[in-house]
Chain A
Amino acid sequence: MRTPLTIRLFASMPRAGWVALIFFALFAWVWMPIAHLALPPEHALHVSSYWVSLLGKILCYMVVAVAMDLIWGYAGILSLGHGLFFALGGYAFGMYLMRQIGRDGAYGAELPDFMVFLDWKELPWYWWGSDSFLWALFLVVAVPGLLAWVFGFFAFRSRIKGVYFAIITQALTYAAMLLFFRNETGFGGNNGFTDFKRILGYGITTPEMRVVLFGLSAALLVGVLLLGRYLVTSRFGRVLAAIRDAESRVMFIGYNPLHYKLFIWTLSAVLCGLAGALYVPQVGIINPSEMSPANSIEIAVWVAVGGRGTLVGAVLGAGLVNLAKSWFTVSFPEYWPFFLGFLFIAVTLLLPKGVVGLWAQRRSRRTGQDSVSAASAARSPETAVAGQISKSTRGATA
């Protein structure tokens, strides 16, 4: 790498991208505090606390979508268990928030309420040190990262890919959900962690704290976008795309896909964990239902709706689907599953490249090398035929 890093980073995005980022930064860090804190509630441009929390939550989802896009859109690894990493980050930080409640809980004890309820006398060993903010941050990164690394190492080493990898990750998050639902595992059972009061001694429900959390979520999103952009335009990103499109060929050329996949997979899990840690204080609760297989699949849908293989697509998809969801669940709660289900079907059938692809089609302009579309690759005549024939070899030995 001869070019300096800063130059490379600047060159990794077209000018429009930078302009959009700057606008977003102004919106999140300048406009939002003014609109929520400075303007009086009766002002036309005042943003209510409901919207600050909702948008902050959606920013966290966008981070998750970008993390998902990095592995699915760019490396061809579909995970149906990413909700697990998100929830683990949330749990790691949630325990710190539980400890911050201190003696203000319902039982007025040192231990979190749910442990008092179970008649526990001391913290289990894995929660030692959870009253320290820095240790909690370390856990947020380390727990999802470590789990992803171990799981990924074994799965990628035995070359489990595609659909089987997806199914096994789904089973993983399902098993974890069952584990966290148990009362005796020390994760608050069915109710999880809730009733938070403070972060670092500051009240968690104050408007200032809400704006700060929103700003942090925005900062995380910007950081993740820049990092992702840097990665996918680097040589590393091109190897990833090659692995996505023809893994065996990449191996025969002399690369070891294991390291590339493991790195991006672990990174993706860590990003999810960070998003989860920011999500929990804004929503005020974390419980095992975050780990349900349905939640993880929804993440894949955000990316599919927005457009795989483009970072902006992931962000757009997460925003659109979640805004639609909050609108539906308020207005027609019983129709939301229908809408989501048909959205799944329609996007896979009609919009293989997502909303971004639609827009690009309208502009009828190539979006360039950075968004090699997985869908078109999958449907190119050569691979389609290979797919047809490959099925023919499966039964031949049986």
Chain B
Amino acid sequence: MKRSFHATFRSGLIGPLLAVLFLLLAAGKARAALDEAVLAQLASGDFSARIAAIEAIGAAGGEDARRLIAALEAGELGVVNGRVVVLSGGVVTDAASGAALAVDADVVDTLRVNNRVRRAIATAKAALDVSAPARETRLAAANTLRDNASETLLPLLERALGKESDEAIGHILRLAVARIHLNAAEPAQRLKAVSALGQSSDPAVRTMLEPLLSPANEPDALVREAAADSIRAIERRVAFAQHLGTVFSGLSLGSILLLAALGLAITYGVMGVINMAHGELLMIGAYAAYLVQNLFRAHLPQWLDWYVVAAIPAGFFAAAAVGVLMERTVLRFLYGRPLESLLATWGISLVLIQAARVIFGPQNVELANPSWMSGGVALAAGVVLPYNRIVILGFGVFVLALVWLMMNRTRLGMFVRAVTQNRAMAGCVGVPTARVDTLAFAMGAGIAGLGGVALSQIANVGPAMGTGYIVDAFMVVVLGGVGQLAGTVWAALGLGIVAKFLENWAGAVIAKILVLVFIIAFIQKRPQGLFALKGRFADN
């Protein structure tokens, strides 16, 4: 520590004493200009005194105080002969009067700060900002004050509360006041504060109240009881918010499962083909998104944020093209032999994974996150709904609507339904069944590609990414069945939500096993799940 002889002499003797005195003085004044005494205290070497001075400056407020705190934050405050000076750009000015001093910059001792001092600076800054015009500034300031404000700032907080029109900020400020009151001397004030804190839904407030439960910290029984009530109220609200968050993440998982399983439900429903390469169609969609992103990077960098939108058709057509190729070359010969088609498609999936390894390398590739999809909505403290999940949920609804329209409002959809219901009869009345097979398979594959584009925004994109989804997608199809979209939708959303709740309760792996057991049990209860055939042909 490099300090002048003067500073050492002063601080050593009267720093702490002065601190208390000036603090009271400064706090009492509504809008003091910078007080010489407070400044002197700031110049002292003692950290506690310095912190008290900073708090006093913050409480006093005013333009001068703002300047001083800003300078302090920037590390521009120094001491020359016991006077606080501002050293900015090589020019030295007196902090109190603002007059330039004829002092060489080299002799200025920069004021040193430690973590406690930094916190005090932040609090003082917040105290100055809490009545700023911009809402964000006020909100940030209020949040800082809620955790750090001391008794000194109480009048300031009360003033700010009186002026505050914004409900959220007002709530935070009330918490800050209540927190200061928690340490008040008379029990009535503490009781009021405890009840006020019970209005919060913030887990941090709960930890603030917890010490009051023990008689060692809180002598008054009434206050202890009120604290217990408040904690219960907070826990209820936190639990509710967390449940909402779980439901949402369950829905979001369900929408991903739905995107993964929709195509499967279509291809299975129409052709009875178990497509083990379905996960790889997702992978192709994701890599299509990656390629589109690279094109945008190279040619349209200013539009990069919107590459995802362009990737949607690209993913669809890339996967659909691969689907057509698969159907024409392999699956056509295996209709009516589900187990063989299962093996053959597994072979296709191996080939596709290896092809992706050869083309793109075995590592995961990086995809940019569009700025409009990053961030999220805070539901409550600690529960955030990310925008990208919300977008994917919406996208799932959009794809579902698309499939429904295709199946129920187009000629192709009519043909597909006809072939699904009675292939022989449809053929007899002139439906080109072979072409319908190809188109339906292309549609299912294309929807898998759309799912892949969605997954590329939230999951790793790599050659083997599809294998992780295939088992889950099959579970959805087994549970929901085919022939109707509703079954798939309910199964996907239900499985998603159940899985997330189980995850909170038992961890991810146990949840997966439980879901599996649950599905087997469900099929016990309702063997006609969706795969149940009725009547004479139930054997095949």
Q: Which residues does A use to contact B, with CB under 8 Å?
A: 78, 154-155, 157-160, 162-164, 166-168, 170-172, 174-175, 178-179, 181-182, 246-249, 293-294, 297, 300-301, 304, 334, 337-338, 340-345, 347-349, 352, 375, 378-379, 383-384, 386-398
Contacts of A157 in B (CB 8 A): 524
Q: B533 to A349, Cβ gap below 8 A?
A: no
Task: Given A248-B538, A344-B350, verify A388-B340 contact (CB < 8 Å).
Answer: no
Contacts of B421 in A (CB 8 A): 392, 394-396
Task: Given A345-B330, A345-B348, verify A393-B537 contact (CB < 8 Å).
Answer: yes
Given contacts A78-B342, A175-B513, 12 further A-B contacts (CB under 8 A): A155-B520, A166-B342, A167-B475, A171-B516, A171-B519, A249-B539, A297-B346, A349-B333, A390-B533, A393-B534, A393-B535, A395-B420
Q: List 22 A-B contacts (CB under 8 A).
A: A157-B524, A166-B342, A167-B478, A172-B516, A174-B471, A175-B509, A175-B516, A246-B539, A247-B539, A248-B539, A338-B350, A341-B348, A345-B330, A348-B347, A386-B540, A388-B336, A389-B422, A390-B537, A392-B425, A393-B533, A394-B420, A395-B422
Q: A178 to B342, Cβ gap below 8 A?
A: no
- Closest approach, in angstroms, between the C-beta of B509 and any C-beta of chain A? 5
Contacts of B334 in A (CB 8 A): 348-349
- Closest approach, in angstroms, between the C-beta of A165 and any C-beta of chain B? 10
B338 interface contact, C-beta 8 A: yes
Q: B513 to A349, Cβ gap below 8 A?
A: no
Q: B347 to A343, Cβ gap below 8 A?
A: yes
Interface segment among B45-53, B193-201, B351-359: the answer is B351-359
Report, nearest first, the 9 A-B pairs whose CB atoms are least far apart: A344-B347, A390-B537, A341-B350, A392-B422, A341-B351, A398-B483, A387-B336, A395-B421, A337-B354
- Of the candidates A171, A340, A347, which one forms a contact with B474 in the assembled complex, judged by CB atoms under 8 Å apart? A171
Q: A391 to B520, Cβ gap below 8 A?
A: no
- Of the candidates B274, B471, B475, B516, which one forms a contact with A293 in the assembled complex, judged by CB atoms under 8 Å apart? B471
Q: A378 to B337, Cβ gap below 8 A?
A: yes
Q: Please give me the residue from chain A that is nearest to B339 by CB atom.
A: A78
- Closest approach, in angstroms, between the C-beta of A317 and any C-beta of chain B? 13
Most buried by B among A154, A157, A170, A392: A392
- Closest approach, in angstroms, between the C-beta of A33 and any C-beta of chain B? 39
Q: B524 to A158, Cβ gap below 8 A?
A: yes
A398–B512 alpha-carbon span in the complex (Å): 30
- Closest approach, in angstroms, between the C-beta of A357 and any C-beta of chain B? 14
B467 interface contact, C-beta 8 A: yes
Q: A349 to B524, Cβ gap below 8 A?
A: no
Contacts of B354 in A (CB 8 A): 334, 337-338, 341
- Classify the secondary structure of B's interface with A: helix
A294–B343 alpha-carbon span in the complex (Å): 11
Q: How many residues of B contact A (CB 8 A)?
A: 58
A146–B531 alpha-carbon span in the complex (Å): 28
Q: A341 to B349, Cβ gap below 8 A?
A: yes
- Closest approach, in angstroms, between the C-beta of B436 and any C-beta of chain A? 13
- Closest approach, in angstroms, between the C-beta of B475 and any C-beta of chain A? 6
Q: A389 to B474, Cβ gap below 8 A?
A: no
Q: A160 to B339, Cβ gap below 8 A?
A: no
- Of the candidates B343, B423, B523, which one forms a contact with A388 in the assembled complex, judged by CB atoms under 8 Å apart? B423
Q: Please give me the residue from chain B that is nearest to A392 by CB atom.
A: B422
A172–B471 alpha-carbon span in the complex (Å): 10
- Closest approach, in angstroms, between the C-beta of A147 and any C-beta of chain B? 13
Task: Given A154-B520, A387-B540, A392-B421, verify A397-B478 contact (CB < 8 Å).
Answer: no
- Closest approach, in angstroms, between the C-beta of B356 and any C-beta of chain A? 11
Q: A337 to B533, Cβ gap below 8 A?
A: no
Q: B537 to A171, Cβ gap below 8 A?
A: no
- Closest approach, in angstroms, between the C-beta of A54 and any C-beta of chain B? 23
Q: B343 to A170, Cβ gap below 8 A?
A: no
A397–B534 alpha-carbon span in the complex (Å): 9
- Of the candidates B276, B343, B538, which one forms a contact with A304 in the assembled complex, judged by CB atoms under 8 Å apart? B343
Q: A178 to B534, Cβ gap below 8 A?
A: no
B417 interface contact, C-beta 8 A: yes
Q: A379 to B337, Cβ gap below 8 A?
A: yes
B424 interface contact, C-beta 8 A: yes
- Closest approach, in angstroms, between the C-beta of B34 and any C-beta of chain A? 59
Q: B339 to A168, Cβ gap below 8 A?
A: no
A334–B474 alpha-carbon span in the complex (Å): 29
Contacts of B425 in A (CB 8 A): 392
Contacts of A160 in B (CB 8 A): 523, 527
Q: B351 to A391, Cβ gap below 8 A?
A: no
- Closest approach, in angstroms, between the C-beta of A117 and any C-beta of chain B? 20
A227–B20 alpha-carbon span in the complex (Å): 96
B313 interface contact, C-beta 8 A: no
Task: Given A162-B338, A175-B516, A247-B539, verify A394-B533 contact (CB < 8 Å).
Answer: yes
B431 interface contact, C-beta 8 A: no
